[in-house]
Amino acid sequence: MSPPLRFAMVGGGVDAFIGGVHRLAAALDGRAQLIAGALSSTPQRSLDSARSLGLDPDRSYESYQQLIERETARPESDRVDFVSVVTPNHLHHPVAKACLEAGLHVVCDKPFTMTSVQAIELRDLARNNNLVCAVTYNYTGYPLVREMRSLIASGAIGQLRKVYAEYHQGWLATALEDTGMKQASWRTDPERAGIAGALGDIGTHAENLVSFVTGLEIDSLCADLTSFVPGRSLDDDASALLRFKGGAKGTLTCSQVCVGEENGLTLRVYAETGALIWRQENPNVLEQTSLDGDRRLITRGGDRSPAATSATRLPPGHPEGFIEAFANIYRGACDAIESKRAGQPDADTLTPTAEDGRRGVRFVELCVQSARDGSSWVEWTD
């Protein structure tokens, strides 16, 4: 095995939930090692976070600009191989752009950018500079999500007819942003979150899961966005009707005010001869049904597709979950980076790319446009 890739993190200080998730995921396979960071927008907090994580003081930076300047000034053999961007949404574009312009590979949290114009810029920068720009739609890393994708591609359930994607949480059912809670305050702030709330935060996960698993392309959509909590500027609940190219139909709902829901991401796909159902809160089981009423529960292990097998770490009966799936995204990004460094063709890693991120941002934009136009039908335009 080659030495681990060295990476820096921008954002994700010790009090940030998602930063810790990224660090655990990147470390799980021993493929990446955190050696540098600009972990907060406040210089002293950035240095304090770096110290608490045991980073070398010489590679603990006050800002992302300082990180990029000093890392790229190092000999190529000593600088970081990629940068993980885990800031609030409004900083994804400027940080990722600066990294790509400096020749550094990027792994960026979702939603990718604030606008699709920004996303296109990053996508093209990565392509033109032969760099990896991965987006952490981590639910695509679950073994049985990849098995679901393989079954549909093989024609196991026939031509697709109806897709339901549901992502329901309840943690923002009250005005937590008014209490000073960091995770709530930036997600409900248009300046930092963008033009959408729940839709941008978790609805993009649902859209990406539909695209990854089914391969369907949206032809048009009709959306309804609601802010149920008084005084909240961005949506905390959203629903969209989807028409796909080829004739299939879909419904996507996401909400962060469904009291009692924790992380209820579910994907149901119905086709001519069968159906597939996967639930994130029970991720090690995939349900398959057929016209004759047969019901089959598919678990990890056994005779599965290569994509599912390669994403599986533990024997059947030993649960795998969120961190392992997230780690598969980082493993794929590391594979892609090493392929580029070796001058080899791009690795087919299944890890979401900048183009996937761009499509997710465009989905949000079109849903917001539809809702503002009285939930009118909007054709998909890039």
| Per-residue pLDDT tens digits for 75-118 | 999 999 999 999 999 999 999 999 999 999 999 999 999 999 99
What amino acid occupies position 228? F
Task: Name residue 370's amino acid.
Answer: S
CATH for 31: 3.40.50.720
In-domain check, residue 372: yes
- Number of C-beta neighbours around residue 227 at 10 A: 16
Q: Which of 173, 177, 114, 187 is nearest to 368 (CA)?
A: 114
Torsion of CA 69, 75, 77, 79, to 10 degrees: -20
Could you tell me if 13 and 114 lie in one domain? Answer: yes
- Report the DSSP beta bridge partners of residue 218: 244
Domain containing 298 equals 142-315+360-379
206 neighbors 166 (Cβ within 8 angstroms): yes
Q: Is residue 106 part of a domain?
A: yes
pLDDT at position 241: 98
Q: Identify the helix (H) or strand (E) that includes residue 121.
A: helix 116-128
pLDDT tens digits along 188-223 = 999 999 999 999 999 999 999 999 999 999 999 999
* 19 lies in some domain: yes
Say if residue 106 is in the same domain as residue 202.
no
By the 8 A CB rule, do 113 and 361 touch? yes
Distance, in Å, from the CA atom of 15 to the CA atom of 230, rounded to the nearest integer, reads 28
Helices (H), 203-321: 204-214, 306-310
Provide mean pLDDT across the span 226-239: 98
pLDDT at residue 317 in the model: 87
Same domain assignment for residues 332 and 373: no
Structure tokens at 198: 């729940």
Q: Flag whether 321 is in a domain.
A: no
Q: Does residue 320 form part of some domain?
A: no
Whether 153 and 173 share a structural domain: yes
Percent of the chain topping pLDDT 70: 100
Assess if residue 213 is contained within a domain: yes
Q: Do 126 and 155 fall into the same domain?
A: no
Same domain as 259, residue 181: yes
> 230 pLDDT exceeds 80?
yes
Residues 94 and 108 in one domain: yes
Closest CA to 326 of 339, 315, 313: 313
Are 104 and 131 in contact by the 8 Å Cβ rule? The answer is yes
Same domain, 310 and 167: yes
Tell whether 79 and 105 lie within a shared domain. Answer: yes
Work out how many domains the chain is built from and give that number: 2
The answer to whether residue 280 sits within a structural domain is yes
Same domain, 199 and 311: yes
Domain CATH number, residue 207: 3.30.360.10
Neighbours of 146 (CB within 10 A): 25
The SS3 call for residue 155 is: coil
Measured distance CA(133)–CA(66) in Å, rounded: 21
Give the integer Cα–Cα distance in Å for 146 and 305: 8
Task: Flag whether 214 is in a domain.
Answer: yes
Poorest-confidence range of 12-21, 144-153, 222-231? 12-21
Judgement on whether residues 133 and 26 belong to the same structural domain of the protein: yes
Bridge partner residues of 298 (DSSP): 286
This prediction has a pTM of: 0.95
Do 220 and 194 lie in a common domain?
yes
CA-CA distance, 213 to 157, in Å (whole number)?
13
Q: What is the mean pLDDT of the chain?
A: 96
